[in-house]
Chains A and B, each alone.
Chain A
Amino acid sequence: MASVSYVEATRLYPGTPDPAVNELNLDIEDGELLVLVGPSGSGKSTALRMLAGLEPLDAGKILIGGNDVSSIRPRDRDIAMVFQSYALYPNLDVAANMGFALKQQGVPKHERVQRVREAARLLDLEPYLDRKPRNLSGGQRQRVAMGRAIVRHPQVYLMDEPLSNLDAKLRVQTRTELVELQQRLAVTTVYVTHDQVEAMTMGDRVAVLRDGFLQQCDSPSTLYHAPANLFVAGFIGSPAMNMLPASGAGPLRIAGADVGIADDLGGERATIGFRPEAVVVGEGPIAARIRTAEDLGSEVFVHLVIDHEGEERRVVAKVDPPFSGSADDNVAIGIRGSIHLFDTAEARRTTIEP
């Protein structure tokens, strides 16, 4: 168990113009589950592989437990990794797969067998111990990959999108089990995913990456309510935050209506954002037309169009059922929740609370 630090860590792939990971600074606490999230190409997998020692650093350093491991080979770093493709050893059975690392360390056989059996019990793998990977289902392989990691007692667990190859239902189920497991084992874990829902539900803290740069690293709640910039605001939360251009001086006008906000950030105001749950349908100063209404049973998402600054803009509202509007109805909507103001550099500057 140890802390992990990225210090100005940089990786530039030969032949490419921009670094895949650009001067990343991140401090991960001992026992924390930190999620690296971002779209593809954001550098999250590269950052994980740098921690694993599978990618070299071109600048900066990486510390595990306070020690600089930047030039230490993966096998000497005392880490365990779960690969997206599981990377199970094809010629070994499940028990041998899970015991492989222990065997390399010279752990005596009876202890190996015992620890493998323990992990297998935790993961419901006991009936499969003598099967080869090719005779396992996707979910079973995923658990073997997990078992291979938890049977060891490393300083850090690394997980590279371990759930993305599972079907949706299994994914949700495994997610909670994984979080419980991590809390029980209390090992520092760095977890990579492209799915922001996964990130929000699993991480103690979430680090959002984009094009190799760290955007923000905070608790899920802070990310949701206080996003550092436009990208984080739009990436976190589903359905995405509603965003409207709102440049110009003076009071804010949405679709021509005055919503009672005078702040223009000294002329720097460029965009505003508000989440679907902040929209009220049925009353308010803004004229809108309903496109569709998605009734999920527990909530209803209403998709609307407004005429804002001369263009048609889409707005999503989240309302409680029942909802009686239908397509092409004209309604009035209002905003009764936080409105975030973003400046011309896409940074969030202030949030107007209701």
Chain B
Amino acid sequence: MIGSRQRGSRLGVGESRAGMIGLGVAAWMIGLLWIFPVGWTLLTSFKTEQDASAQTFHNGLTVGRYSDVSHSTTGTLSLSAAFTNSLVVVLVSTLIVMLLALPAAYALAIRPVPKWRDVLFFFISTKFLPIVASIFPIYVYAEKWNLIGTRTILIVLYIAINLPLAIWMTRSFFVEVPRELIEAAEIDGTSLLNQLRSVILPIAAPGIAATALLCVIFAWNEYFYAIQLNFAGASTMPQWVIGNVSTRGNFLAKLSAASIIACLPVVLAGWAAQKRMIRGLSMGAIK
């Protein structure tokens, strides 16, 4: 008789409850220590500047710093402008990256061109040139075409920096699609677009979502191009955050608040999608 405990055992043979609990405790401690710098920053963002600098708690917690950074002073970049810029740039560039990468991955995985390895290597090699080196020619031409301070130039550049990774990852997910499904679609005369839509995408969807998320993360957090190709008053979130570093007075709490605001969207997106990212990665990023 199983007895009153009508639930099966979750422990394996030879595993002890104490061992499992011990492992859990160790894991939690490690996790909390690891996140400590972020947690501390979060805490600091709710303090007054005095408290922040001195690491004390005298004045209690307040959201004052958040409203400080949200209402910009003259001459500095406003939060809403920076946020909108970032949003547009990131979403448009990621969308275009995926639109370019999906067919390219098809041409490298499903019906491969003969020299697909070389093509893949070429794409990866585009990341070897340090962006600090190409910035000058890019600046020269961007200025010539009146693109300095626009979203367009950033969109174009972010597509370029994310495209290799997007193609690499999407290709490896496409490789996982069973050959027979493709062949059946070919026999039925399905066009490339429809093949993508009805056969490939449903299977590779988690991987594609993971890829898109990575592109969003890299684009949102990109600092160098944003700084170099924008004026002080018209830029993206990274520049807005740096704008809160001041040389006069205490700024630690304000900077903390600004940091939290700037990172929050991508952090939340990453948290929401982490399971999918793991599933997507284990599906075949490793081919």
Interface residues of A (CB under 8 A from B): 10-16, 19, 23, 53-59, 70-74
Contact mask B1-27 → A, CB, 8 Å, 1/0? 111001111111110000000000000
User: Once the chains are docked, how many angstroms separate the CA of A69 from the CA of B8?
Assistant: 19
Interface size, B (range): 10 to 19
Within 8 Å by CB of A53, from B1, B2, B9, B13, lies: B13
Collect the chain B residues with CB atoms within 8 Å of residue A12's CB: 2, 6-8
Contact count A vs B, C-beta below 8 Å: 41
Q: Is the interface of B mostly helix, strand, loop or mixed?
A: loop
Collect the chain B residues with CB atoms within 8 Å of residue A14's CB: 7-10
* CB-CB nearest in chain B for A53: B13
Interface residues of B (CB under 8 A from A): 1-3, 6-14
24 contacting pairs across A/B (C-beta < 8 A): A11-B8, A12-B6, A15-B7, A15-B8, A16-B8, A19-B2, A19-B8, A53-B13, A53-B14, A54-B13, A55-B13, A56-B11, A56-B13, A57-B9, A58-B2, A58-B8, A58-B9, A59-B1, A59-B3, A71-B13, A71-B14, A72-B13, A73-B13, A73-B14
Collect the chain A residues with CB atoms within 8 Å of residue B7's CB: 12, 14-15
User: Once the chains are docked, how many angstroms separate the CA of A42 from the CA of B208?
Assistant: 40
Collect the chain A residues with CB atoms within 8 Å of residue B3's CB: 59
A11-B8, A53-B14 given. 15 additional CB < 8 A pairs? A10-B2, A12-B7, A13-B8, A14-B7, A14-B8, A19-B2, A19-B8, A53-B13, A56-B11, A57-B9, A59-B3, A70-B13, A71-B13, A73-B13, A73-B14
User: Once the chains are docked, how many angstroms separate the CA of A270 from the CA of B212?
Assistant: 65
User: Once the chains are docked, how many angstroms separate the CA of A57 from the CA of B9?
Assistant: 8
Q: Is the interface of A mostly helix, strand, loop or mixed?
A: loop
Shortest 7 CB-CB contacts between residues of A and residues of B: A73-B14, A12-B8, A14-B8, A53-B13, A56-B9, A13-B8, A56-B13
Most buried by A among B2, B10, B11, B13: B13
Rounded to whole Å, the gap between the CB of B286 and the closest CB of chain A is: 14
Rounded to whole Å, the gap between the CB of A65 and the closest CB of chain B is: 18
User: Once the chains are docked, how many angstroms separate the CA of A70 from the CA of B13?
Assistant: 8
* CB-CB nearest in chain A for B7: A14
Collect the chain B residues with CB atoms within 8 Å of residue A72's CB: 13-14
Collect the chain A residues with CB atoms within 8 Å of residue B14's CB: 53, 71-73
Collect the chain B residues with CB atoms within 8 Å of residue A54's CB: 12-13
* CB-CB nearest in chain A for B3: A59
* CB-CB nearest in chain A for B9: A56
Q: Is the CB of B12 within 8 A of A56?
A: yes
Collect the chain B residues with CB atoms within 8 Å of residue A19's CB: 2, 8
User: Once the chains are docked, how many angstroms separate the CA of A71 from the CA of B7?
Assistant: 18
Rounded to whole Å, the gap between the CB of A74 and the closest CB of chain B is: 7
User: Once the chains are docked, how many angstroms separate the CA of A11 from the CA of B7?
Assistant: 10
User: Once the chains are docked, how many angstroms separate the CA of A15 from the CA of B8?
Assistant: 7
* CB-CB nearest in chain A for B1: A59
Collect the chain A residues with CB atoms within 8 Å of residue B12's CB: 54, 56
User: Once the chains are docked, how many angstroms separate the CA of A12 from the CA of B2?
Assistant: 8
User: Once the chains are docked, how many angstroms separate the CA of A23 from the CA of B7?
Assistant: 15
Rounded to whole Å, the gap between the CB of A346 and the closest CB of chain B is: 24
User: Once the chains are docked, how many angstroms separate the CA of A74 from the CA of B6?
Assistant: 25
Collect the chain B residues with CB atoms within 8 Å of residue A10's CB: 2
* CB-CB nearest in chain A for B6: A12
User: Once the chains are docked, how many angstroms separate the CA of A58 from the CA of B10?
Assistant: 10
Collect the chain A residues with CB atoms within 8 Å of residue B9's CB: 14, 56-58
Collect the chain A residues with CB atoms within 8 Å of residue B6's CB: 12
Most buried by A among B3, B7, B8, B9: B8
* CB-CB nearest in chain A for B15: A56
* CB-CB nearest in chain B for A55: B13
Rounded to whole Å, the gap between the CB of A71 and the closest CB of chain B is: 6
Collect the chain B residues with CB atoms within 8 Å of residue A23's CB: 1
User: Once the chains are docked, how many angstroms separate the CA of A74 from the CA of B13?
Assistant: 8
